[in-house]
A and B are shown apart, each in its own frame.
Chain A
């Protein structure tokens, strides 16, 4: 027996003790502890004990108006949608346990893709298990080594992660800045493959992109165009196809990315396209291939919801009214908002700093109103935002109640 093994373990003093791979998170841990030590309710640990409707829930023991759920069209409790889910659960079971390219394509997956083709009037539709995976998959697969991706600096995390997963050269430009985009496009080598990535609605401030101009310029330089319409589906454009439809450029974009987790009211994501070779994506796109497909109940609810969104013109009109009323009301109360005019169903209230933002969030939740607290680094220009997303099921009366709660909270915290 060697001496080394026979000897008892000696306490060792290692250099950098107490540091490990988690040390990189120390700053954010400290920020969070600092915030919570002041006794505020944790904005990132809210539990909805009961959900009463698309606009009401019991949160932390209180009945609360929901104004931060992205449930724009209020489809989550639609009787036809719920019934379709129950039926699929009974007929097809709780899950597919397989990839779309193996045993995970059920009739429901084909049906929801058909519904998407009809909704967008496009040739191809491919459904992913989440919206995040749709961007991750399409972007990383189509733009490869030597290609260039030009994207808005305020793009969603799923777009950035799609860029990071691929091998293309990544070139960001200033948010919604047409000139900055064109200048960069002009400098990309002429023979290189180019993909321009834009969003219809940017979710932090709720502002829309100048798609008419940007799409025209991207086409002029021979770039393919991908537009993420996650926050506009079902609501913006005559048929709810998004900002691309409203701007009259839907036929000029190559890919539209969307999600089931907002207006559609469930979970999942998709890409629609008219590209003649699009179907090959199903074999080469790894975030599509190497993951289990959506449960049958989910695709069944999505399918019914999408078809109902096709003729939801009245709901769209009511949601616009809600957005306008809330925007004007908050402005009249003296709050600073992310946009001068309401451009979408998102209204961002800009807070002076994180501390007052958290205090305001808490005052709102105690007053019976849930909104999203958005903070750096997820926000543009390191702003702290209270992000409100309206629902077509919010009644006029509820919007007035929301304004009253905002007024009381704002005065209590001293922001207005």
Chain B
């Protein structure tokens, strides 16, 4: 799956969590712009993990602040055999 396909899938998954309907760009932050709390993060991460059959450990999550960084990480993780 290329980056734009990963982007499209994650965008769909993010929709139910984006309660205020904020426009999402690569620079959108989860904590400040989307106001995700820890429980939302867990549910959102779980949805992505199940969709792409990957694990995003909390250590990796700590490095991800923006939507663009998330797409990059998932793109990299799912490309691994």
The answer to whether B42 and A188 have CB atoms under 8 Å apart is no
Q: Residue A174 contacts which of B42, B55, B57, B60 (CB distance < 8 angstroms)?
A: B42
Q: What's the nearest-Cβ distance from chain A to residue B81, in Å?
A: 11
Q: Residue B42 contacts which of A170, A172, A183, A382 (CB distance < 8 angstroms)?
A: A172
Q: Does A184 contact B (CB under 8 A)?
A: yes
What is the CA–CA distance of A124 and B44 in the complex, to the nearest angstrom?
Answer: 41
The answer to whether B59 and A187 have CB atoms under 8 Å apart is no
The answer to whether A377 and B38 have CB atoms under 8 Å apart is yes
A contact residues around B37 at 8 Å (CB): 382
A contact residues around B59 at 8 Å (CB): 169-170
The answer to whether B58 and A172 have CB atoms under 8 Å apart is yes
The answer to whether A183 and B50 have CB atoms under 8 Å apart is yes
Q: What's the nearest-Cβ distance from chain B to residue A160, in Å?
A: 10
Interface centre among A171, A183, A381, A382 (most CB of B within 10 A): A171
B contact residues around A381 at 8 Å (CB): 39
A contact residues around B58 at 8 Å (CB): 163, 169-172
The answer to whether B55 and A184 have CB atoms under 8 Å apart is yes
* Residues from 37 to 71 in B contacting A, C-beta threshold 8 Å: 37-39, 42-43, 46, 49-50, 53-55, 57-60
A contact residues around B60 at 8 Å (CB): 169
The answer to whether A174 and B46 have CB atoms under 8 Å apart is yes
The answer to whether B55 and A187 have CB atoms under 8 Å apart is yes
What is the CA–CA distance of A174 and B41 in the complex, to the nearest angstrom?
Answer: 12
Q: Does A180 contact B (CB under 8 A)?
A: yes
What is the CA–CA distance of A190 and B50 in the complex, to the nearest angstrom?
Answer: 18
Chain B, interface residues (CB within 8 Å), range: 10 to 19
Q: What's the nearest-Cβ distance from chain B to residue A163, in Å?
A: 8
* Residues from 139 to 185 in A contacting B, C-beta threshold 8 Å: 148, 153, 163, 169-174, 180, 183-184
Chain A proximity mask over B8-37: 1 for CB below 8 Å, otherwise 0: 000000000000000000000000000001
B contact residues around A174 at 8 Å (CB): 42-43, 46
If A174-B42, A180-B46, A381-B39 touch, whether A148 touches B53 (CB-CB below 8 Å) is no
B contact residues around A148 at 8 Å (CB): 57
If A183-B50, A184-B49 touch, whether A171 touches B39 (CB-CB below 8 Å) is no
Q: What's the nearest-Cβ distance from chain A to residue B5, in Å?
A: 20
Q: What's the nearest-Cβ distance from chain A to residue B20, in Å?
A: 18
A contact residues around B43 at 8 Å (CB): 174
B contact residues around A172 at 8 Å (CB): 42, 58
Q: What's the nearest-Cβ distance from chain B to residue A145, in Å?
A: 10
B contact residues around A171 at 8 Å (CB): 55, 57-58
If A174-B46, A180-B46, A183-B50 touch, whether A382 touches B57 (CB-CB below 8 Å) is no
Closest to B45 in A: A172
The answer to whether B39 and A187 have CB atoms under 8 Å apart is no
B contact residues around A382 at 8 Å (CB): 37, 39
Closest to B38 in A: A377
What is the CA–CA distance of A170 and B55 in the complex, to the nearest angstrom?
Answer: 10
The answer to whether A187 and B46 have CB atoms under 8 Å apart is no
A contact residues around B54 at 8 Å (CB): 187
What is the CA–CA distance of A13 and B55 in the complex, to the nearest angstrom?
Answer: 49
* Residues from 101 to 149 in A contacting B, C-beta threshold 8 Å: 148
Other than the given A170-B59, A382-B39, 10 more pairs (CB < 8 A) read: A169-B59, A171-B55, A171-B57, A183-B50, A187-B53, A187-B54, A187-B55, A188-B55, A381-B39, A382-B37
Q: Chain B: residues with CB nearer than 8 A to chain A?
A: 37-39, 42-43, 46, 49-50, 53-55, 57-60
List 14 A–B pairs whose Cβ atoms lie within 8 Å, in order of A's numbering: A153-B42, A169-B55, A169-B58, A170-B58, A170-B59, A171-B55, A171-B58, A173-B46, A174-B42, A174-B46, A180-B46, A184-B55, A187-B55, A382-B39
